[in-house]
Amino acid sequence: MVLEHLTRLDHRLFLKSQGHRHWQRRARLARWVSRTGDGPPYALLGLLLWSSGQPALQGYVQQALQAFAWELPCYLLLKQLFRRRRPAVALPQARVFITPADTFSFPSGHTAAAFVLLTLLWLQAGFLALWLLPWALLVGWSRVWLGVHFPGDIIAGIALGASAALLAGT
């Protein structure tokens, strides 16, 4: 019963986000924000930080690799365990702005990856990491705007990414 209530709430929040009169304009911006959370920018960032030769930055890259070694298998396992249908399949009135890379929506991998980086930065730099928080949140919310995730998928991605980073950072 609790799960059904949460699912209904998730559906309502998703549809409310799509009901905004500026949804299409937001979706265009969301596509760009979402791309900053794709894999290649992370790889490029890692190479740049590693090539700096600075031990602190290289340590950050090592921790990120460890965190992603936790996050990615957990992400794939959760996708298969929950097998949550994407909004366009679960809700006939849902609009989608991009084609998702896979079938299931729970959890959001883009959000998990963004929160891996944010949490690791928080562990190393403390409050300095707050400048990255708006970006990480926007990456997650962009996935809702694009019509490929429910808000609950984003929350799960936050928990997964932060947990993986905490495991790697301690």
Kindly state the tokens that stand for 23: 């949804």
Which residue bears the tokens 């960032």?
Answer: 45
Q: Which residues of 131-164 are buried (b: 16+ CB within 10 A; e: fewer)?
A: ebeeebbbbbbbbbbbbbbbbbbbbbbbebbbbb
Kindly state the tokens that stand for 127: 């409050």
For 129-136, the CB contacts below 8 A with 24+ separation are 135/33, 135/36, 136/111
Is residue 149 part of the annotated active site? The answer reads: yes
Is residue 20 part of the annotated active site? The answer reads: no
Which of the residues are catalytic? 110, 149
